[in-house]
Structure 1
Amino acid sequence: MNKEKKIKIIISIVAISFIQGLQYSVSPVLGQIQSYYAGVDISLVQMLVTAPALLAMIVALVSGWLVLKISKKKLLVFGCLVAGIAGFLPFLSDSFELLFFSRTFYGVGLGLACALNTAVVAEFFEGDERVTVMGIQASSIGAGMVVISTLGGKLGAYGFRASYFINIVGFLSMVVIALLLPDTGKARVSGKDKIRLNKKVFAVSFIGIVEVLFLMSYTTNIAMHISGKLAGDTMVSGILTGVFAAAQIVMGLLLGRVTKIFGNYSLPAAMLSFCAGAVIVMCFPSSYLGLIIGAVFCGFSQGMFVPQAMCEVSNAVKPVAAAMAAAIFTCALCIGQLLSPIVLNAASKLFFGNVTTTYVFLIAAIGMGIAGILVSIRQFAQGSAMRT
């Protein structure tokens, strides 16, 4: 494959990643939405970020089978179209129900983007080059989050409904993919190369549920956590979400080097990075510098964990099963997203008597720390077993 074709594919991957970034388009204005729809439960408001995972989970699973019937390119173009349309639906009526539906409907595009983005990388790149491109993919998701959340925060200064205009990204990505991504047709399965998964795919996917369960506390709580003179400033919350995404970009670009340093302990290292970030955010809700430092550590966590885990599940199976392996992992991430506000808010009320962002960050930090240590022990045990 020549250099020009590789560049076109990478640009297409970036466009797909921007569709994934749209998940966080409402994150900077959650505080405004909560105030405007005062009678709506806080968990439902927070689920505007996580609700797309409901359909994304189903669509991702189906996409593992659909690639045998429809080409990845056609599926991705359709996913971008859905993402764009869903983003503008809330303009039809000033209703929380319609807003919630539109965010859920966007999950169709999100599910296709999440599962097939990795499948595209696995189809065109191998070995160390695959790890590098997977890092670029993670960086471009972060770049999408930076652009979308920052612009969303700025548009939010004119009212939260103005932030919906950022969803034009869906249509722009559709054009890029239609023009640049090669159409290799539907996947073909021979008698010998059937779609088969293994224990590693499911083990890494389970760890993914835990990671996202706690990690999502950042994007669903940060806008409501900032206090003091910073409270209520949508631009500040947008910048903080952007810093989180920027850290993800940096980590994605350095992924190849970072994973060589941490080796088999890359996943637990990513989990412990979030612990540090959550503690800092919890302790400095009114400090701009403290919140930015916390955002960086949380962003590093996502930037390292997701692409590395995606590499592990795609490398664990034959190429024909890469889309299904990615779909299983995507479903795991979606489950974690869906459960995050419900579980963490319930735990806050159970242990502390009420729900506050400080308590949620504390629970997330402790939970992720315990999980990171357990995964480290698991990795050490597996390494010892291989050496004996």
Structure 2
Amino acid sequence: MSKSKKIKIIITIVCISFIQGLQFCVSPVLGQIQEHYPDASVSMVQMLVTAPTFLSIVVAIISGGLVVKISKKKMLIFAGLMAGITGFLPFLADSFMLLFVSRILYGLALGLCIALNTAVVAEFFEGDERVSVMGIQAASVGAGMVLVSTLGGALGKYGFQNAYYLNVIGFIAMILIALFLPETGTAKVSKDEKIELNGEVYKVAFIGVVEMLFLITFTTNIAMHISGSLAGSTTVSGNLTGVFSGAQIVMGLILGAITKVTKKYTLPVAMLCFSIGGVLLLLFPSNYVMLMIGAVFCGFSQGMFIPTAMVEVSNAVNPASTTMAAACMTCGNCFGQLISPTLLNGASRMMFGEVTTSHVYLIATVGMTIAAGVVILLRARKKTA
């Protein structure tokens, strides 16, 4: 494959990742949305970030089978179109329910992009190059989040509705995907190479449920967690989410070197990065510098975990099953995000008698640390078996 073709494919991967980044376009303005719609519960407001994952789970599963009937390129062009359309729906009326429904419908685009982005990488790249490009993919997701989060926070100063304009990224990505992604047709399935998954895929997908259950608390709680002189600042919350995303970029670019050191323990190491960040968020809610450092570690966690997990599941199956494996991993990630606000807020209420961001971060930090320890033990046992 020529260098120019590789560059065009990588540009396409970046575009797909930017569509994924739109999941967090309202994250910096959640505090304003809560004030504007006082009748909406805290969990419902937080679910504006996680609600898209509900539909993403269904779409990801369907896309795993659709690749034999519809090309990846056509599905990704459709994803860009849907991201743009659903992003502008809330302008039709000042209604929380309309905003909530539009976020759910954005899940169509999110599910396709998460599942197919990995499939595109696996189709055109192999071996160490696949790991490196998957790192670039993670970095571009981070770049998309940086752009969306920082601009969302800046625009939010003039009204949270201005953050909706960022969804024009969907239309731009659609055009670039149409121009640069090669059309390879539908996936070919033979008697010897059927679309099927195995136990390794399901194990990694379950770890993904746990990772995202706790990790998503950063973006769903940070705008309402900052206190003291920082409280209520959409710029600060936007910057923190931007730093979180920026850390993903850095981690994505050095992922190849990191995995050579951490090897099969990369996933639990990623989980422990969140644990470190969670402690800092918990202890220093009004200290801008410490919050920034905490955001960096949380970003490292996502930037290390998701591409590594996607590489692991894609390597565990035959080429025809890559999209389905990525879809399964996507379902795990999305399910963890989807249940996070309800489950962790419920746990906070049950354990402490009230729901606060500090309690949620405490539960998430302890839970992630325990989970990482279990994964390390299981992988160490597997190594010596």
TM superposition score normalised by structure 1? 0.99
Q: Distance in 2 between matches of 1:162 and 1:9?
A: 32
Q: Name the residue aligned to 1:207.
A: 207
| 3-state SS of 1:306 partner | helix
Please state if 1:15 is matched with 2:15.
Answer: yes
Describe the superposition over 1:43-74 as per-residue Cα deviations: whole angstroms up to 9, x where unpaired: 00000000000001000000001111010000
Describe the superposition over 1:71-114 as per-residue Cα deviations: whole angstroms up to 9, x where unpaired: 00000000110000000000000000000000000000000000
Q: Name the residue aligned to 1:222.
A: 222
Residue 190 (structure 1) shift: 1.0
Q: Distance in 2 between matches of 1:22 and 1:282?
A: 27
Q: Distance in 2 between matches of 1:65 and 1:267?
A: 27
Q: Name the residue aligned to 1:54.
A: 54
> Would you say how many aligned residue pairs link Structure 1 and Structure 2?
385
Written as runs of structure 1 = structure 2, the 5 A alignment for 1:222-241 is 222-241=222-241
Q: Name the residue aligned to 1:68.
A: 68
Structure 1 residue identity aligned to 2:204: V
Q: Name the residue aligned to 1:155.
A: 155
Q: Distance in 2 between matches of 1:375 and 1:203?
A: 10
Written as runs of structure 1 = structure 2, the 5 A alignment for 1:298-377 is 298-377=298-377
Q: RMSD of aligned C-alpha atoms?
A: 0.4
Please state if 1:290 is matched with 2:290.
Answer: yes
Describe the superposition over 1:117-150 as per-residue Cα deviations: whole angstroms up to 9, x where unpaired: 0000000000000000000000000000000110
Please state if 1:121 is matched with 2:121.
Answer: yes
Please state if 1:30 is matched with 2:30.
Answer: yes
Q: Distance in 2 between matches of 1:104 and 1:339?
A: 14
Q: Name the residue aligned to 1:249.
A: 249
Residue 304 (structure 1) shift: 0.3
Give the unaligned 5+ runs of structure 1: none
Describe the superposition over 1:244-278 as per-residue Cα deviations: whole angstroms up to 9, x where unpaired: 00001000000000011111110000000100000
Structure 2 residue identity aligned to 1:276: I
Residue 191 (structure 1) shift: 1.2
| 3-state SS of 1:263 partner | helix
Q: Distance in 1 between matches of 2:217 and 2:27?
A: 11
Q: Name the residue aligned to 1:136.
A: 136
TM superposition score normalised by structure 2? 1.00
Describe the superposition over 1:282-323 as per-residue Cα deviations: whole angstroms up to 9, x where unpaired: 111111001000000000000000000000000000111000
Q: Name the residue aligned to 1:92.
A: 92
Structure 1 residue identity aligned to 2:234: T
Runs of 4+ in 1 over 2 A off after TM superposition: none
| 3-state SS of 1:106 partner | helix
Structure 2 residue identity aligned to 1:17: S
Structure 1 residue identity aligned to 2:334: C
Describe the superposition over 1:319-343 as per-residue Cα deviations: whole angstroms up to 9, x where unpaired: 1100000000001111001011011
Q: Give % identity.
A: 64
